[in-house]
Structure 1
Amino acid sequence: MTRRRRRSAAGRPLFTVLTAFGVLAGAALAGAAPAGAVPAGRRIAPGVTYRQFDVRAAAGTAHAHLLTVDLGDPHVRLGLLYPGAVAARATVSRMADTAGAVAGVNGDFFDISETQHPGVEATGASVGPAVADGRVLKAAVPKGQRFGPALPPGTTTQDVLGVGTDRRARTDRLALTGSVLTPEKRITLRGLNQYALPQNSVGAFTSRWGSASRARAVCGTDTDRAAACSSDTREVTVRDGRVVSVSGKPGSGPIGAGSTVLVGRESGAKELRKLSVGDPVTVTHDLVPASGRGPFAFAIGGYPVMRDGKPLSGLDDAASAVRTVVGFSDGGHRMLLLALDGAAAYRKGMTVAEEASTLRGLGATDAFNLDGGGSSEMVARNSGAQAVTVRNHPSGGAERPVANGIGVFSAS
C-alpha cells in the first residue's frame, strides 16, 4: 500500500494511521492523520472506538494503540480495574474480564521490588490514591517512597486522573484527611492502605488492603525509599470502636470487615503504645480533592504531563520507553487512552515530552502519564467475544501483573 505524508505542526510527532482494524503491530500502513484529528477507528461498543497508528519519535518509529471513549454516551463509563485488594496484582486482561470491561489499559506505578529490604516482600500496592465505584481505596505514599521515574516539577504522588460523579474526566489532587481519636488525644491520620507511611506517623489499614504483610509500611524514609526499616513500631487493631489487640511490629493476614489496623512508626508508635486492649478508639478517613470540586466516581494515580493544552514544563525529553498515557478533551467528555507497542521493532518508544505532544496532536487538552515499560498494555474485546484480547505486544514478552488499571464499560 502507498503512504501519503504531511508535515505536522511544529513540535508535534507525525502520525501514520492504520486503514484497517488489526490486533498485531506491523500491519499495512497508509495515510497520515492531520494534527488534532483522532482516527475514527473500529467501534468496540457504543461510544468506544479502537485504532492503531505509527508515531515518528526521536528514537525511531513508535506504534500506538488508541481507545477513544465518549463519556457523553449514557451506555459507556470508565472505572478502576484492580484485583479486589490494594496489596495485590493481576494482569489487565484478567482484571478486565473479571469486572466485565470491554476494554482497558494498565494503571499506576506500584511497589514491584524490595531488594533493598531483606526479608520484606513487595506488596504490589500502587503509589498514588485510588477510588473505585465512589469508594476510597487508598491514599498516596510520600514522594520519596514512590516507584518509577522522577516526577516532573510541580507534581506530587497525590495527583490523580479520574471521572467525577458528573461523568466528566478531570485531573486533581487527592489528599488524605482523617484522625484517630483516643481517650487521650486526637492523632492526625497520615496513611491509608499505603505500602509506605511517612516518618513519625500513624496509618490505617482496612479490609481493602488485603492479606499482604504490613511490614513494608515502616521501611524507608520520606526522602529515601531504600533506607532501612524502622525498629520503633507499633500495631493496634480496632474493632467496633475498641482496641482488640496490640503488637510491637506490623503483622499480616486478612483484616476483617469492620476492623481497622493502625500502624505507627517513631513518634506515631509512641502514641499507639498508650493504647491498651479495651480502650475506645474512633478512626475516620477520606480523600479530599484539592480543587474543591465534587467527588470522583473513580480515580487513579500517575502524574500529569499536559494541562489546558500546554505540556508541563520540565518534562523528560531524553529517555525513550514504551509508555501508557491517557488524556481528555471536550471539557472532560471525551477520553483518549493510549498504550505503545512493545514489539522489538517499536520498543524504543518515546519520551514523556513526546507522549504529551502526541496526545496534544490527537486533540487532548489534558494528559496524564501512567506506568510504562513492561506494564504498558491495552486490551479490548472483538465483536461478539466474551473476553478481551491483548492489543499491544507487552515489552516483556507476556502480560505483567499490575496493581490496577482503567476499565472501559458498556451497558449495551
Structure 2
Amino acid sequence: MIKKKLFITITLFLLISFTHVAFANAASIYEQFTVTPGVTYQDVRINETNTKKAIRTLKIDLNNPYAKVELGIPNPLTALSSTSAQAKRKSYENHHVVGAVNAAFFRPSLRLPAFLIVENGKIVNLGVISTGYDKYMSVPTAFGIHSNGNAIIDRFSYDASFTVGDVTAVFNSINKQRGENEIILYTPEYEYSSTKTNEYGMEIVVTNLSKSLDHDLTLGEAVTGTVQHVTSYGKGNSTIPKNGCVISIHGAKQAEKFKNIQPGETITITIDVHEPWKNAQFILASGPMLVNNGKVEMTMSENSPQAKTRHPRTAVAIDSSGKKVFFVTVDGRQPGYSDGMTLKEFAQYLVSIGAYKAVNLDGGGSTTMAVRRLGQTYPTVVNSPSDGKERSVSAILLAVSTAPYGQPTYLSVKTVPNINKVTVGRTVDLQINYVLDEHLHPLPFNQANIVYEVEGGIGKIVGNRFIAEKEGKGTIIAKYGKAIAKIPITVEVIRNPNKPVVLLSGMDDKNQWEAESARAKTTIATSKQNEPTFFGKTALKLVYDFRKANGAIAASYLRAKKPIAMEGLPKNIGVWVYGDGKGHWLRGKLIDAAGKVHTIDFTKEGGLTWTGWRYVRAQVPQNVSLPIQLTKIYVAEAKKEKQGTGALYFDKLQAEYVDNYVEPSFNDVPHDFWARNSIEFLAERQIISGYNDGSFRPNDTLTRAHAAIFLARALKIAPVENSTVAFHDVPRNHPYYPIISAVVSKGIMNGKKSHTFDPNGTLTRAQMAAILTRAYKLSGIPEKDFSDVPKSFWAYKEISALAANGIAKGSNSSFRPNDFVTRAQFSELLARTLKSVQ
C-alpha cells in the first residue's frame, strides 16, 4: 500500500528519463522507492552486448521545503572515513541524512581534499587546480548551492588580489601552473614544495601570514604577511614557506612593477570568488564538467587514460531550474555485474536522465552511494564498491530531510515466514518491520500497542500470531495510531497433498509421547535391540495392565505431547502394530478445527487378535472441520475376563489420501517385487507373517515348519494339542507342534525316516507341488510337459496338476523340480492355488 502511494512521482520520473536510445533499449529498473518526500532512489541495470552497468540515482527535489543538499566535511579535515559513517555522524534531530555519495577528490598522502571547498563563505580547503587538459580539473569547475537555495554547476574563477606598498595586482589563479603573463598565488597546499616555475618571471616569498590561506579563511578577508625574499627575474622555482606563500609574476613587463619591493615590507592578500559563486552556501570544486546546457560537454580530453577507460564513476547533476539535483553512481571493475563507464558514456547517460549540467566527482574505488531505506535510521551502502568494501574518503554530498518527526502514518508488517498463502490450521507470526511518520522517518513503537484485525472470517489473531481457521481469502490488518498496514492472505485446505500417503510419525522417539491411563497402569518405552521394530531403528512400546479395572472399561493411551497435525483430509490413518493376540480394542482420538473430538477405530471391539506385525487403518470422518490433529492411540477392554496384562508395539504412523492405497506388508517387499501381489494377498488373509523386524525375507528358503503353518492357516486347520502324531525332533512342547501334528494328521505333509519331521529343513519345488496337490486335491494334464520333468519323475503327476490348473508356469519350459523353494515362490504358488480353487 505504501509503495503505491510513494512511487507515483518516481514512476513519472522514470517514464520521462529514459529518452536516450543508447540506454533505453537495454535498461531495466532493478529497484526504486521514495526515501522521503522530495527524495527518490532508483537502481537501473543496463545489459548491452559487451558490457553491463549498475547505476544508482538519488534525486533530490529542492522544491520540497524539507529536502536539502548539503556538503559533508570531515572534522578534522584530515579525518578520512567511509561515506556511510560520515552520513551517520551528520544525522541528528530534525536533520535526517537520507542519502549520500562520495564527492571530493583527495590527496591520500596529505589526507586533504585536492580542490577548493568553501562552506558558508569560509575556505575549508583552498586546494589546487590541475595542470594539463588530460587531468580532471584543469578547468576550474564546481558544484554548490546558491544563497537562493538553487543548485549550481559552473566554472569558477578567483576574485583575488594583493597589495604591497602602493601597488595592487590581481591574481589570475591559485595553486596552478603559471601561464604567460599570469600572476599565480602558491600556498603550502600546492602539490609541490616549490613553484616549479621557469626563469621568465619574478617571485615574492611571503612569510608570517596573519592567517592561513589554505584553511579557515573567510572569502574577502584581508591577510597580511611580510616579504621575506624576492626572487629576481631570471631565476624562478621558489620554495614555498610553510607559514607563508609565494606570489609568482610572469613576464618582464609585469615584474617591472614590483622591482622596488624590499624584504620586510608588509603585503596584504585577499581571496574571493566571482559570481555566481559569491555568497554560495557551499562550493565543491571538482571536474571535469560532463554536461553543459543539456549536452555532453567535457572539460577534459576524451583520450585521457582516466577518461577513456571504464571505471566506477560518481557525478552530481542538476536540471535547468537548479531545483532538481541528481547524485549518480555507476559501479565498475566487476565483470558480469558492472564494468563501469568511460567519462563520455557517463556524460551521455546523465543527459539521458535529464541532466542540464553535470560535473564528475571522485570515482574508482571511492564510488559509494548510501541511502536510508524505509525503516532505517541511517543510510546504508546500496551500490557495490569495487574494493569489495567502502573506502575512507574526504568530503561527501548529503541528501538531507529537515522535516521534524511527525505522527505514525505508514506501517509495514510481514508474516514470518513471508507468505500470503497458508493452509487451514497453520499459524504464522506477524512481525512489524517499521513505523514511519508522514516524512518517512522511522518512529519507535511498542509492539504491545499494535492492534490486529482479520477481515474475511478466515482466522484469528492471538498475540502476534495469525491462526488460519477457515478456507477463503481475507486480510490481516495492523494498526498503530493512524498508521495501517494490510496483508492479503489466502487460507487453503489441502484435501489431497498430491501424495497417496504422508508419514505422520516414525514413532521412534518416546519423548514425543506420554502414557495416560483409565483404570489401568500404563508405561511406554522405546523398543530394545531384541524387541520388534518395523520401520527405522526402533518402535514405540506400550505396556498395559488392566487387572484392577474389575469389569469397568480400562484403557491405556499413547498421548501425543503435541497433537499431530495432518495436511488436508485423509481417508484413513494407518499404523503398524505388533499385536499380542489378547483380543482388545484398538482405537484413536482426533480433534478438528472446531475443537470437536472424534473417536476412530483401528480394529473392531475385540479385534486385536493377531500376534506379530500387522498394518491397521482407521477411517477418518469426512465431515470434520479442517485441519485435524491426532491426539491419542489407545487400547481398551471392557470384559473382565480379558482384563490382563500385555504389550503392544507401534511403528510408522501415517495418513492415507487415496482409497486404494496398499501398504506393503513387509519392509523388504517393495512395490516392484515380482511376488509382491501374492505376498500381500496372503498377508491380508493372515496366512503368512513375517519376523519381528518387519521383514518377510522373501528370498530365504522356506522351512518345513513354516510351510506347515502357512498351509494350516490357508486351509483353516485348527491346531491339535493332543495328537497321536509323534516326532523325535518336534516334541509336544515345541511351539509349532500343534500345527505340525494337525497338518500331518490331515495327510497334507509327511514326516521323514526315523520318526522325524525336520522342521528346519527345506522343501524342493517338487515336494511343494506334491503338498499342494494333496492339500487341494488338484488333478489334470497340461498341454505340454516341462522339459525337466519326465513322466518317470516321482512327482510328475503332482507337477502336471499344478501346470494344468495354471498354478505352476515354470521358466523357459522348465520347472527346476529339485531347487529349494523360497518363501516368495511358495507364496506365489499358494496364492495362485487359492485363487484357482475359489
Query: Any gaps of 5 or more consecutive residues in structure 2?
Result: 1-17, 92-96, 212-222, 230-237, 251-257, 404-838
Quote how far apart the aligned CAs of 1:179 are. 2.1
The structure with higher relative contact order (CA 8 Å, sep 6+) is 1
Aligned-pair identity in percent equals 21
Question: CA 1:214/1:321 → structure 2, altered by over 3 Å: closer, same or farther?
Answer: closer
**Contact kept? 1:234, 1:273, Cα under 8 Å:** no
What is the TM-score normalised by the length of structure 1?
0.69
Correspondent of 1:131 among 111, 114, 118: 118
What's 2:324 paired with? 334
Which is richer in helix? Answer: 2
What's 2:27 paired with? 15
What's 1:109 paired with? 105
SS in 2 for 1:406: strand
Quote how far apart the aligned CAs of 1:63 are. 0.7
SS in 2 for 1:12: helix
SS in 2 for 1:95: helix
Show the 5 A alignment for 1:391-402: 391-402=382-393
Question: CA 1:287/1:57 → structure 2, altered by over 3 Å: closer, same or farther?
Answer: farther
Question: CA 1:298/1:324 → structure 2, altered by over 3 Å: closer, same or farther?
Answer: same
Quote how far apart the aligned CAs of 1:343 are. 7.0
Quote how far apart the aligned CAs of 1:311 are. 1.4
Correspondent of 1:67 among 58, 67, 71: 58
What's 1:26 paired with? none
SS in 1 for 2:325: strand
Distance 2:126 2:248 in 1: 20
What's 1:255 paired with? none
Offset from partner CA, 1:82-140 (integer Å, 9 cap, x none): 2246666433223322333331111133334xxxxxxxxx3344344322234343456
What's 1:23 paired with? none
Question: CA 1:174/1:85 → structure 2, altered by over 3 Å: closer, same or farther?
Answer: farther
The one-letter amino acid paired with 2:40 is T
The one-letter amino acid paired with 1:284 is T
Question: CA 1:266/1:244 → structure 2, altered by over 3 Å: closer, same or farther?
Answer: closer
Question: CA 1:216/1:332 → structure 2, altered by over 3 Å: closer, same or farther?
Answer: closer
Quote how far apart the aligned CAs of 1:323 are. 0.7
Distance 1:273 1:97 in 2: 52
Matched, 1:167 2:149: yes
Quote how far apart the aligned CAs of 1:384 are. 4.8
**Contact kept? 1:110, 1:402, Cα under 8 Å:** yes
Question: CA 1:272/1:138 → structure 2, altered by over 3 Å: closer, same or farther?
Answer: farther
Distance 1:286 1:96 in 2: 29
Quote how far apart the aligned CAs of 1:294 are. 5.9
Quote how far apart the aligned CAs of 1:374 are. 0.7
Distance 2:283 2:197 in 1: 24
Quote how far apart the aligned CAs of 1:142 are. 3.6
Q: How many residues align?
A: 342
Query: Any gaps of 5 or more consecutive residues in structure 1?
Result: 1-6, 20-40, 113-121, 206-212, 224-231, 253-260
**Contact kept? 1:107, 1:405, Cα under 8 Å:** yes
Question: CA 1:47/1:10 → structure 2, altered by over 3 Å: closer, same or farther?
Answer: closer
Quote how far apart the aligned CAs of 1:245 are. 10
Offset from partner CA, 1:218-253 (integer Å, 9 cap, x none): 457489xxxxxxxx994512228664896995465x
Question: CA 1:242/1:325 → structure 2, altered by over 3 Å: closer, same or farther?
Answer: closer
**Contact kept? 1:129, 1:174, Cα under 8 Å:** no
Distance 1:275 1:103 in 2: 52
Matched, 1:403 2:394: yes
**Contact kept? 2:315, 2:360, Cα under 8 Å:** yes
Offset from partner CA, 1:46-95 (integer Å, 9 cap, x none): 31122212023575111112101001111111122222466664332233
**Contact kept? 1:202, 1:263, Cα under 8 Å:** no
Question: CA 1:319/1:82 → structure 2, altered by over 3 Å: closer, same or farther?
Answer: same
Correspondent of 1:304 among 289, 295, 301: 289
What's 2:167 paired with? 185
SS in 1 for 2:101: strand
Show the 5 A alignment for 1:29-68: 41-56=32-47, 59-68=50-59
What is the TM-score normalised by the length of structure 2?
0.36
Find the structure with the greater CA-based Rg: 2
The one-letter amino acid paired with 2:384 is H
SS in 2 for 1:408: strand
Question: CA 1:312/1:87 → structure 2, altered by over 3 Å: closer, same or farther?
Answer: same
SS in 2 for 1:364: coil
Distance 1:286 1:402 in 2: 27
SS in 1 for 2:84: helix
**Contact kept? 1:54, 1:62, Cα under 8 Å:** yes
Matched, 1:236 2:221: no
Distance 1:222 1:82 in 2: 33
The one-letter amino acid paired with 1:405 is I
Show the 5 A alignment for 1:353-368: 353-368=344-359
Distance 2:369 2:158 in 1: 31
What's 2:534 paired with? none
Question: CA 1:99/1:181 → structure 2, altered by over 3 Å: closer, same or farther?
Answer: farther
Distance 1:219 1:400 in 2: 31
Quote how far apart the aligned CAs of 1:402 are. 2.5
Quote how far apart the aligned CAs of 1:376 are. 0.8
The one-letter amino acid paired with 1:186 is T
Question: CA 1:357/1:57 → structure 2, altered by over 3 Å: closer, same or farther?
Answer: farther
